[in-house]
Structure 1
Amino acid sequence: MNDEPDLLPLLSAPRVESVYVDDLDVLNAAVQDLLAASGYLAVDAERASGFKYSQRAYLVQLYRTGSKIYLLDPIAFTDAELTQLSEFMANTPWILHAATQDLPCLAELGLYPNELFDTELISRLLGFDRVGLGAVCELTLGVRLAKEHSAADWSTRPLPANWLNYAALDVDVLPEMQKFLQAEIQAQGKEEIVAQEMKNLLRFQPKPAKTERWRSMSNFHDLREPRQLAVAKSIWEAREQLAQKLDVSPGRLVPDSSIVHVAKTLPQTKSKLTGDKAFNGRASRTYLDIWWQALDTGLSVRELPPMRISVGGLPNHRNWPAKFPEADARLQAAKEVIAEASKRLLIPTENILTPDYLRQLCFEPEGFSALEIGNQLTQLGARPWQIDELADELSRALSSAKPPVDPAL
């Protein structure tokens, strides 16, 4: 295989016929065609991130060896009309690339897998240096994949033909990719590792939204007074409500920088807010009454937000050397174990063990025996293969870890 990606042939169009599905009769025919085909079901979804507030799917691509490629417009169907498709998909193994990106929006449509083959995660487990869809396609199939519309507004209707062409390509390559990766899994003897990771992936749930998300605005750290925080919070909440109502990405109404600017300068009249050119954004003047009301609320509210809030969970591990030297000593010793396992198995360190699990183990160990470490890791969510590979070595490393001695003492 040629190692120079630019010299590889370009796959610019799907190699089988693709069908746009926005009619119930076409959908029913598609399900029958997919049922008659064989192998894994290649699945992908397109959203309108950065354009819409919701993260719903605006296109779902489906393909199976021997079928046509189906480009499903989920907006065109009710939940009841998707029942037949949902039943078929619940009983057919799926291939996806980077499944955690698409599983939530597919679940919103009532589409759930009972078996997964995630080509992105499996490429990591096989030690591939690059794991994007295009890179894996080059490595496994020896072709370049045309990738031109990944950041498009997929809520657009009608969808342009070249966008649909791009979408079809994403599933066209997946069945062949799956076969190549399956052979590599067997060659590396990683069948059990992959099986456990895919089973774990079926339980994936998105992280819950942060509390007080308004504190995550860009340049929020520029605000130095509680009153400024009150104004920022009030305008941010008004923007959220409007964004949900209009189904528009919040930043497309007014950007974070505009909200922080107003919170810093605290204009006292509506005319001053109107005349401030630094308060910009597509909806900065269209919905000026909303922004002014929110600003006025922030200026007058009596209960001011605290400058800082206590965050649950572990302390930031970057502070451990100074504040928690024993825990930091355990963490550094444990990292050496993880690094060694990564070299031995040719798997990235973050896939050897979830970093949060490692920090939790090192900060609050429930014991230092291999059995106690294994039990704690199991409770945290580690898979059996990870415990088999790590428990004994982590037991030795954590048992002997000592903080460095201060030479001044």
Structure 2
Amino acid sequence: MRQPKYLMVETPQGLREACAILAGAATVALDLEADTLFHYGETACLAQLSDGAQIWLVDLRQVTDISPLKPILENTAVEKVLHGADYDIRLLRRHFGINCRPIFDTEVAARFLGMRRSGLAEVLAKRFGVVLDKKFQKRDWMQRPLTAEMCSYAAADVHWLVRLAGLMKADLTGLGRLAWVKEECDILAHSSDRIREPGPLFLGFKGADLLDRRNLAILESLLQARESLAEQRDRPPFKVLSPDVIRQIIRERPETDLELLRIDGLGRRSGTFRAVVLTAVRNALDLPDEQLPEYPRGIGRRPSRSHRFQARVQGLKEWRDSRSAALGLDGSLVCANSVIQELAAVKCPVTPDDLGRVKRLRKWQNREFGAEICNLLR
């Protein structure tokens, strides 16, 4: 594959010159490379942009003020095309205060076109016969200088997006699904508006909702210790103490260094490191019962429901599976399990208008399937 040409932007003046051209574009392709795998925290390293004719690679280690991009990325008359936009738009909001919208997410579009494998490499291979080298996905984008190979990979990520979006829109229009994707993209674009309130670290740990309060205290104490160790060592938390090791520590509840050494992966750790882990466990075990944390009700844990509710859930799932098979779509797109749970709790809906109280139900889903859902729930 012939490598796309690009302009490297390493100065504020270079960014202003790029923005002068991008400001006249109706569509801008965008991608970001960030580091979460090699260092502590989250660092935006590179921004790739294209107007469909030119490509710019903005070195975010050199150009830290990207405010000239803000009017373009927030211009409602300029469509931004991304693939797997969720992380990038949150990164733009958190680090640069940019609300990127409107967007067209080609990953979302691929799923609504029935593609089971919707990664960019798979989509480009199917559409254009292009082969992307996935090895660069897990490279250290903080390193400088960037290699020519890394820059070519980054440029290829946006090179095809404007053209790809146009082809996908035509296909979606033919299937009557373009409005579906536009609504999904709009919801995605505004998801960055929701600022997560600070809370216990265990809320982001898979399986925490299944733990009793004492084990939840151990988990939180370990996660706090891991965060501190990760920051001191400039390492991602998961590389300091993996989720599997944390789960084993919770099960074993070691109280001595000898007991801790029996846990896989900790024998190679320094005595200082193990002492921090042991202290975290002991602090949680010594915590009075009245101070133990509790997993928030309504998050993860579902209350028991009546037989009628369960029957509704089963009926909705059977309908969803049949409908999604007929459409050639993944069932979660037609009606996710979380939406089914909400629908099953609605009292006696007569018309699709009555389903408006179901917050997670999309407008397009109500238009397309509302009457069928009401018939199932009567």
Match of 1:388 in 2: 367
1:35 aligns with 2:1: no
Deviation at 1:344, TM superposition (A): 4.8
Write out per-residue CA displacement over residues 323-374 of structure 1, whole angstroms, 9 at most, x where no aligned residue.
5321111112222333344345443321223331221110x21332114533
- 1:376 aligned onto 2:357: yes
Q: Retained in 2: the 8 A contact 1:253–1:284? A: no
Matched, 1:350 2:336: no
Name 1:173's counterpart in structure 2.
160
Matched AA of 2:329:
I
- In the superposition, relative to structure 1, how do residues 208 and 215 fare at CA in structure 2: closer, same or farther (>3 Å)? closer
**Aligned 8 A contact 1:223 1:229 in 2:** yes
Structure 1 pair 76–222 and aligned structure 2 pair: CA distance change class (3 A) = same
Deviation per CA, 1:129-166, whole angstroms, max 9, x where unpaired?
32111221122223333322112222223333322221
Which string of whole-angstrom CA distances, capped at 9 and with x for unpartnered residues, describes residues 239-270 of structure 1? 1233346553112223344445555555555x
SS at match of 2:61: helix
In the TM superposition, what are the counterparts of 1:3-402 in structure 2 within 5 Å?
11=1, 14-15=3-4, 17-36=5-24, 38-67=25-54, 69-78=55-64, 81-91=65-75, 92-108=78-94, 109-205=96-192, 208=196, 212-214=200-202, 226=214, 230-244=217-231, 247-262=234-249, 268=255, 272=258, 278=264, 280=266, 284-285=270-271, 287=273, 290-303=276-289, 309=295, 311-312=297-298, 316=302, 324-362=306-344, 364-371=345-352, 373-377=354-358, 380-399=359-378
The residue identity in structure 2 corresponding to 1:118 is D
Seen in structure 2, the aligned counterparts of structure 1 residues 281 and 204 have a Cα distance that, compared at 3 Å, is: farther
Q: CA deviation at 1:26?
A: 1.8
What is the aligned-residue RMSD (CA, Å)?
Answer: 3.5
Q: Secondary structure at the match of 1:202?
A: helix
Give SS of 1:20's match: strand
The Cα of 1:311 is off from its aligned counterpart by 3.4
Relative to structure 1, the CA distance from residue 256 to residue 331 in structure 2 (aligned partners, 3 Å threshold; closer, same or farther) is: closer
> Secondary structure of the equivalent of 2:42?
coil
1:337–1:390 CA contact under 8 A, matched in 2: no
CA contact under 8 A between 1:259 and 1:279: conserved in structure 2? Answer: no
- What is the CA distance between 1:83 and its match in structure 2? 1.5
Which ranges in structure 1 are unaligned for 5 or more consecutive residues? 1-10, 400-409
Measured against aligned partners, the alpha-carbon deviations of 1:368-391 in whole angstroms (never above 9, x if no partner) come to 2114533223xx043322111112
* TM-aligned CA deviation for residue 310 of structure 1: 5.9
For the residue of structure 1 that corresponds to 2:35, the secondary structure is coil
Q: Is the 8 A contact 1:141 1:176 kept in 2?
A: no
Structure 1 residue 118: Cα displacement: 0.7
Equivalenced residue count is 374
Q: Distance in 2 between matches of 1:384 and 1:222?
A: 34
SS at match of 1:94: strand
Which has the larger Rg? 1
* Contact 2:218 2:280 (8 Å CA) reproduced: yes
Distance 2:251 2:299 in 1: 31
Q: Distance in 2 between matches of 1:105 and 1:89?
A: 13
| Secondary structure of 1:61 counterpart | strand
Q: Is the 8 A contact 1:140 1:180 kept in 2?
A: no
TM-score, with length taken from structure 1:
0.78
- Please give the alpha-carbon distance, in whole angstroms, between the structure 1 residues aligned to 2:247 and 2:270: 14
The answer (yes or no) to whether the contact 2:348–2:377 under 8 Å persists in 1 is no
The CA deviation at 1:14 is 3.0
Contact 2:245-2:264 within 8 A present in 1 as well: yes
The percent identity for this pair of structures is 25
SS of corresponding position for 1:75: coil
Cα distance in 1 for residues equivalent to 2:163 and 2:330:
24
Asked if structure 2 preserves the Cα contact closer than 8 Å seen for 1:254 and 1:284, the reply is: no
Calculate the TM-score normalised by the size of structure 2: 0.83
